[in-house]
Structure 1
Amino acid sequence: MFFFPFSDENPTNKKPIISWLIIFSCSFIFLNQIFDPTYIVEQTFLSFGMIPAILFGHSELSGHLKIIPPFLSIFTSMFLHGGWMHIIGNMTYLYIFGDNIEERLGKLKFIIFYLVSGIVAAFTQAIIDPTSTIPMIGASGAIAGVLGGYLVLYPKANIKVLFWFIIFVKVFRIRAFIVLGGWIIIQFISFNGSDLNSGGVAYAAHIGGFISGVLLINIMKNKIAKKNRTLNGSVPSSK
């Protein structure tokens, strides 16, 4: 059985330039991993992935792997992906939900929102297992923040979801609060049953990013609303 959101019925009036740039950057880096014969994937993940034990000073990388300061790996890890399903899933979710958040916040605030969600996600995962030597990679944490923001702003938007079971294939229109609410519930359930030492999906990062997105969007939308009220109040009336 397979469920996959692939579109929403929530059009925007502005082009989501930042979302497109993130999608392009992540895709370019991933394709370089796949098709460059000189590319050493494991070394790249160790050098640019976020490793909790390295971040908190419990361990150190070998000399030739020390390319950037550990704190910068929080950012570089957001642009690395481990496989086709990883990159396709993340970029599809950003494509569906990122444009609405970007339009609502504006480009600069969206960048801040995205990066802060990713930072919180990374630290959530690192704090849960601070001595882990497994690199955390992927934009999932930051994109989880986008999902949290979307749930707050557009809970009743229709999401087109592909359902596939053996030979039965159908597209359903489901409210965002069901799709995204169901998604975060699955993350909590999966985290509760996961083995932190086995690698795999960073469920704690998803949860941290999602909660960060919910909190951030409430703070930022209130500031935008307040600014708009101030601007509207300062416009002189015409006679």
Structure 2
Amino acid sequence: MFIPLHDANSLKHIKHQYVTIALIVTNIGIYFFTSFGSEHAAQIAAVSLGYIPSVAFDTAELPPEYALVPGYLTYITYAFLHGDIFHLGGNMLFLWVFGDNVEDALGHFRYLVFYLLCAISGAVVHGLVAPDSQMPLIGASGAIAGIVAAYLILHPRVKIWILAFGRIPLRIPAYITLGLWVVFQFFMFLLGGEDQISWACHIGGIVAGAVLIVILRRQDVPLLDRHIVTPRAVRIDQTSVAQPKPSETAPRWGRQ
């Protein structure tokens, strides 16, 4: 639909988005670690660390050599794996543009908890929709969907620079851009599209993000906040400007 570029939405409570940066670095590092080498190695990582509903619901079982972590951990580990560089890049771009302000509203630790809970929620909803699936679910989309929902609730009026259709630069309020994105996710979910993209995972993340931002945000952080006003030239009323005293402007004549 669109590519987010910049939101010009400054931080108010934290100096730097340390957790957001750490999540991006971690995702990139894991991608390159699991991608370098044979394609078979990447497939092993996806099967071993991805979320597989049939395995989670005990209707299927992984071979022992693939069971690298306990099954319950795959509700989180799946969110740090990506299929290709475009899958990774899209998720990390959304995380970079919108994650810092959500981290600012929550604080570092609660933001990390928020991110992981949104990822878990995405996996849970995906599993409930397709409990017999034997395909591994991978990608940070569930967590990113939660961040988008939280940002929309926090800053709906902030204008965001985007590339519409991947090529047209526009500056549009978040309630339009992100609101349409959320509606699109629900539309595709109701349409029944579950091919290469798990819309159910996105829905799980959106719902979790919308609920958790209300519960976990700082007490002094309002909802539906922040209209960023671009400074403009200010007209000065001439009548309000102090006038110099006559003695300061009149010529001084010498005595005759």
Do they fold alike, i.e. is TM over 0.5?
A: yes
Larger Rg: 2
Q: How many residues align?
A: 219
- In the alignment, structure 1 residue 124 sits paired with structure 2 residue 125: yes
- Give 1:217 deviation, angstroms: 0.6
**Per-residue displacement from partner, 1:148-172 (whole Å, max 9, x unpaired)?**
110110000111011357xxx4311
Cα RMSD of the aligned pairs, angstroms, is 1.8
DSSP 3-state at the match of 2:135: coil
DSSP 3-state at the match of 2:219: helix
Paired with 2:105 and 2:174, the residues of 1 have a C-alpha distance of: 17
Aligned to 1:211: 207
Aligned to 1:231: none
Paired with 1:102 and 1:213, the residues of 2 have a C-alpha distance of: 12
**Per-residue displacement from partner, 1:53-92 (whole Å, max 9, x unpaired)?**
0011111001111111111011111100001111000000
- Give 1:29 deviation, angstroms: 1.1
Aligned to 1:41: 42
Whether the 8 Å contact between 1:32 and 1:39 is mirrored in structure 2 is: no
Aligned to 2:228: none
Paired with 1:134 and 1:180, the residues of 2 have a C-alpha distance of: 29
Aligned to 1:170: 168
Paired with 1:122 and 1:38, the residues of 2 have a C-alpha distance of: 24
Please list every run of 5 or more consecutive structure 2 residues that lacks an aligned counterpart in the other structure. Answer: 222-256
Which structure carries more helix by proportion?
1
- Give 1:9 deviation, angstroms: 1.9
DSSP 3-state at the match of 2:21: helix
DSSP 3-state at the match of 1:224: coil
DSSP 3-state at the match of 1:134: coil
**Per-residue displacement from partner, 1:135-156 (whole Å, max 9, x unpaired)?**
0111110111111110110000
DSSP 3-state at the match of 1:119: helix
Please list every run of 5 or more consecutive structure 1 residues that lacks an aligned counterpart in the other structure. Answer: 227-239
Aligned to 2:5: 6
Moved more, 100-109 or 11-20: 11-20
**Per-residue displacement from partner, 1:163-222 (whole Å, max 9, x unpaired)?**
357xxx4311111111111111111122233444x4x1110110110111011111123x
Question: 4+ residue runs of structure 1 moved beyond 3 angstroms?
Answer: 36-39
Whether the 8 Å contact between 1:188 and 1:207 is mirrored in structure 2 is: yes
Whether the 8 Å contact between 1:54 and 1:60 is mirrored in structure 2 is: yes
